[in-house]
Amino acid sequence: MKNKKYALQLLKDKINGERLISFVSISELSGYSERQIRRWSKDIENRDIDSLLIHASKGKTPNNAASNTELEYLKDFKKQYPNISISQFMDIYHEDIIFNPDKSDDVYEFKLRKRSYSFFKDFYRNNGYKSPRKHRCFKGKDSHPLREPSPRRGILIMIDGTPHDWFENGKKFSLHLAVDDATGEILAGWFMPTECLEGYCYMLIILIQKHGIPENIYSDKHTIFKSPVDGNLTQFGRMSVTFFALKKKGKY
């Protein structure tokens, strides 16, 4: 087991002439490499053991700390979602920006990166954002039961894209999936390296070819259908509206 304090004490004794010992011996006794021991020997002449025991990075900015440009980008992106939870904002940011090929220029220019939940939690707290509180569930008349499934197949189709190591080879792929709300039946799916328009389009084609046009399609990621910038329909949203119109007219 490594013992840094013991290694530094041996070094101190060696430098002060109190002990005849080689760097190799100190390395073997302390568990640290000879190269590390020699590096410490250059510092220990001017510093005491206690100061060297303190981690060298203390007081320095961590390498993964967010830059001002990244933080300003996040603040500007957050304006589009004034009332949203930390988890929801994190998911939307990763899907719409970090893993979106169309935003690769922004990722490079503003040095954006995937961030953890704790990072977004600090981001909310430091900027005074509030995460909507979860509703409590009570027994009796004040309870909020889960929404009932649709009464029959085909009324409502739930779609979503889920990144995961589906093939267990260390690489994540996004599965674009369509599930019937009434039965829980998986109707169509398509894999892509990232969640994207192309994946949803292929999934929609399979869905319509095999099962026809559903009455409604729903996704909790509303940016699939509408742009978060101007609220206009996306390409996928326009395609969906066109199919629904054809269904109403009996042309499909």
CA distance 63 to 31: 27
Tens digit of each residue's pLDDT (9 = 90 or more) over 192-251 = 998 888 888 899 889 989 988 888 888 876 677 777 777 788 888 888 778 777 766 665
* pLDDT level of residue 50 (50, 70, 90 thresholds): low
Answer yes or no: is pLDDT of 44 > 80. Answer: no
Q: Where are the domains of the chain?
A: 4-53, 68-127, 156-248
Q: What are the φ/ψ torsions at residue 224 (nearest 5 degrees)?
A: -65, -35
Residue pLDDT, tens place only, 87-137: 888 888 988 899 888 888 998 899 898 888 888 988 998 999 987 765 454
The superfamily in CATH containing domain 156-248 is Ribonuclease H-like superfamily/Ribonuclease H (3.30.420.10)
Query: Which tokens in the block code for residue 224?
Result: 């699939």
Confidence of residue 142 (pLDDT cuts 50, 70, 90): very low
How confident is the model at residue 54, as a pLDDT? 59
